[in-house]
Amino acid sequence: MPSLRRASAAINRMDSLAAGRSPVHSLHPLAKLIVTVVYIVVVISCPPFNPGGLAVFLCYPLIIAPLSGTPLRPLFARLAIALPFSLAGAVSNLFLTPGAAFRIGSFVVGYGLLSFASIILKTLLTVFAALLLVASTPFEEINRQLTALGVPKIFCLQLVMTYRYLSVLIDEALTMTTAYALRAPEVKGVRFSDIGVFLGQLILRSFGHAEHVYQAMKCRGFDGGYQTRAGARLRPRDFIYTAAVCAGVVLLRVFL
């Protein structure tokens, strides 16, 4: 996980990107959600020893990122978080997959190397697809679609509220870690003997916040549900976008 300060900056940045305007932003959130899921499933299902062919799926982020005005740097920063786990599996394939696929000059390319490259490339493609979705769609809209798709209301409601309170609690934790660091400048992080009291204090503050939030919400007539404006309707271009991209990636997969 990133540091507190970076996480806070990352959330703010995604929020401001999602609030932007572009042809991708103006698409219906459901269309983008379906396209993202289909794209990820198709990429994951690609054969393991053809990284060259897999690279064709780079088209999607290469077009959608500039079209939605999403800079590539934050995407690569998130990739660094996702890579370690994939890397562990990929490295094992590098050494354990038997057989030489072909030679380039005197360099033998084994199936292990092809599989390694495929896993790394698949990580990049799936991570970018998910991030491009949240960089071009406000989280509340994704949440609304989840509700519409039948995800339990209580889960959606607390999902969106958790997201809203992240910055509050991250700021709270940041204040506490700064105060701790000022009192214990030689210590990296928090001492093991102090962590119970430290996190316990953070919990008590969180409960305090929760109580205040609940009272404020009750005062405004909260009855277990959010009152929201009606969501956007699906327009013909949403259908065209969904059909075109889904058909495109499935066809690429078929001929891969």
User: Among residue numbers 35 through 74, which ones bind another protein (CB under 8 A)?
Assistant: 36-37, 40-42, 44-45, 47-56, 58-59, 62-63, 65-67, 69
Judged by CB under 8 A, the chain residues 114 through 143 that form the site for another protein are 114-115, 119, 122-123, 126-127, 130-131, 133-134, 139, 142
Distance CA 90, CA 119 (A): 6
Q: Does residue 181 touch another protein according to CB under 8 A? A: no
Amino acid code (one letter) for 44: I
Contacts of residue 39, defined as CB under 8 A and 6 or more positions apart, other chains included, come to: 57, 60, 125, 129, 245, 249
Query: Minimum distance from CB of 229 to another protein (Å)?
Result: 19
Q: Judged by CB under 8 A, how many residues of this single chain contact another protein?
A: 122
236-251 in b/e form (b: 16+ CB < 10 A) is eebeebbeebbebbee
With respect to another protein, which residue has the nearer C-beta, 224 or 236? Answer: 224
Yes or no: say if 100 and 48 are a contact pair by the CB < 8 Å rule. no
Q: Does residue 228 touch another protein according to CB under 8 A? A: no
Q: Which of 26, 148, 151, 228 binds another protein (CB under 8 A)?
A: 151
Query: Minimum distance from CB of 143 to another protein (Å)?
Result: 10
Q: Does residue 170 touch another protein according to CB under 8 A? A: yes
Q: Which of 26, 102, 228, 235 binds another protein (CB under 8 A)?
A: 102
Yes or no: say if 24 and 64 are a contact pair by the CB < 8 Å rule. yes
Give me the residue label for tokens 């910055």. Answer: 167
Cα dihedral 80→19→68→75 (10° resolution): 0
- Name which of 16, 7, 12 is nearest 174 in CA terms: 7
| Max CA pair span of the chain | 75
Judged by CB under 8 A, the chain residues 72 through 91 that form the site for another protein are 78-79, 81-82, 85-86, 89-90
Ramachandran quadrant class, 231 (left: phi over 0; alpha: psi -120 to 50; beta: rest): beta
Query: Minimum distance from CB of 244 to another protein (Å)?
Result: 14
Q: Does residue 155 touch another protein according to CB under 8 A? A: yes
Q: Does residue 245 touch another protein according to CB under 8 A? A: no
With respect to another protein, which residue has the nearer C-beta, 197 or 234? Answer: 197
